[in-house]
Amino acid sequence: MTDLYAVIGNPISHSKSPLIHKGFAEATGQDLDYIAIEGPFGRFAETVDAWRDKGLRGLNITVPFKMDAYRYATRRDAAAREAGAVNCLTFDGAEAEGANYDGIGLARDIEANLATPVAGRTVLVLGTGGATRGALGPLLARGPARLTVAFRTPGKEAELRALFPEARALDFLAYADLGGEAYDLVLNATSATLSGEAPPVPLKAFARGALAYDLAYGKGLTPFLRLARAAGVTRCVDGVGMLVEQAAEAFARWRGVRPETKTMIEKITVPLV
């Protein structure tokens, strides 16, 4: 019997996960099917239970169900606990193992695909939401000289600090206080892109030769990336590599083989115009 996997979200018709995982399966000789499930709001557990009864082996989770998946999981890896969110479930009998591969996917894309070591660099992460929570652990593990999180609403930064009390490289600044330092790597982890806005980061926050990275993908040249270009940044990328790399982590957990990712990234990349 062909093994069944899926991604759940709402909306979900735009998802590239079926294309990615089916491509991985073909490349690695794995017998599986992968579908997209549009989950009804407020009925996550009921929906997942119904698909598990149909033989679902594993599930990727996207907006808005990552916190629902966290609550659904019977056990969670360290990255999921740090993020407070789960983006991958693996089913084994009554158990539902929750993981979060977003942060490791981001770090791998930056270092392996974009050839930009994090160690010894200055990093600015914009936003204090779930994407930032998931990214901080993997980024800090790679030894940045400093990792600054920019926040809009006072108080949220305290929650992040509490997750990494021993991280000496980690600090926090309000957007209004940015501008005193230029950063080698600037990551937009806010939801501003979805509303067609740029986060209020000053142009002088981008160092000469910086990498500007928008975690959103498939949106072309986003307002954040336009801002980076206005600052003279020539290395501007979106989150398509992160998407593929986190998918590869989930695929490896489910199938025991990690697929090559470069070909898939090239296949689904949208030009930044």
Is 267 part of any domain?
no
Mean pLDDT of 27-34: 98
CA-to-CA separations, 67 to 35, 54, 144, in angstroms, rounded: 21, 23, 28
Residues making up the binding site: 15-17, 62, 87, 102, 215, 217, 239, 246
Query: Mind telling me the catalytic residues?
Result: 66
pLDDT given at position 272: 86
pLDDT given at position 270: 87
E strands present in the chain: 3-9, 32-38, 56-61, 75-76, 88-92, 95-99, 122-126, 146-151, 170-174, 183-188, 206-214, 235-237
Is 268 part of any domain?
no
Same structural domain, 26 and 64:
yes
Same structural domain, 207 and 221:
yes
As a whole number of angstroms, the distance between CA 182 and CA 184 comes to 7
Closest CA to 215 of 249, 189, 247: 189
- Helix ranges (DSSP H) in 29-179: 44-53, 66-72, 78-83, 102-108, 130-141, 156-163
Q: Domain tally for the chain?
A: 2
Same structural domain, 78 and 113:
no
Is 48 part of any domain?
yes
Is 262 part of any domain?
no
Is 125 part of any domain?
yes
Tokens encoding 45 = 């557990």
Q: Which residue has the tokens 């594993």?
A: 58
**Average pLDDT over the chain, rounded to whole?**
95
pLDDT given at position 147: 98
Same structural domain, 138 and 235:
yes
Same structural domain, 15 and 71:
yes
pLDDT given at position 103: 95
Same structural domain, 126 and 225:
yes
Which among 48, 82, 100 is the end of a domain? 100
Structural domain boundaries enclosing 158:
103-240
Which among 100, 121, 139 is the end of a domain? 100
Q: Which residue has the tokens 């990551």?
A: 187
pLDDT given at position 29: 97
pLDDT given at position 40: 97
pLDDT given at position 234: 96
User: Is the bond preceding 11 in cis, omega lying within 30 degrees of 0?
Assistant: yes
Residues making up the binding site for shikimate: 15-17, 62, 87, 102, 217, 246
Same structural domain, 58 and 26:
yes
pLDDT given at position 244: 98
Question: In this predicted model, what pLDDT tens digit does every residue of 95-116 receive, in sequence order?
Answer: 999 999 999 999 999 999 999 9
Mean pLDDT of 157-162: 88
pLDDT tops 80 at residue 144: yes
Confidence band, pLDDT 50/70/90 cuts, at residue 243:
very high
Is 143 part of any domain?
yes
Same structural domain, 129 and 88:
no
Is 254 part of any domain?
no
Same structural domain, 123 and 56:
no
| CATH classification at residue 117 | 3.40.50.720
Strand order across the beta sheet in which 170-174 lies = 170-174, 146-151, 122-126, 183-188, 206-214, 235-237
Residues making up the binding site for NADP(+): 215, 239
Same structural domain, 65 and 20:
yes
pLDDT given at position 33: 98
Which among 72, 100, 128 is the end of a domain? 100
| CATH classification at residue 84 | 3.40.50.10860
Same structural domain, 159 and 88:
no
Is 261 part of any domain?
no
Question: In this predicted model, what pLDDT tens digit does every residue of 37-61 receive, in sequence order?
Answer: 999 999 999 999 999 999 999 999 9
Mean pLDDT of 197-204: 94
- Among the residue ranges 18-32, 97-111, 125-139, the one predicted with the least confidence is 125-139
pLDDT tops 90 at residue 130: no
Confidence band, pLDDT 50/70/90 cuts, at residue 218:
confident
pLDDT given at position 27: 98
pLDDT tops 80 at residue 14: yes
For the question of whether the overall pTM of this predicted structure is more than 0.85, the answer is yes
Contact 236, 188 (CB under 8 A): no
pLDDT tops 80 at residue 194: no
In the chain the first and final C-alpha atoms are separated, in Å, by 44
Mean pLDDT of 135-153: 95
pLDDT tops 90 at residue 69: yes
Same structural domain, 233 and 118:
yes
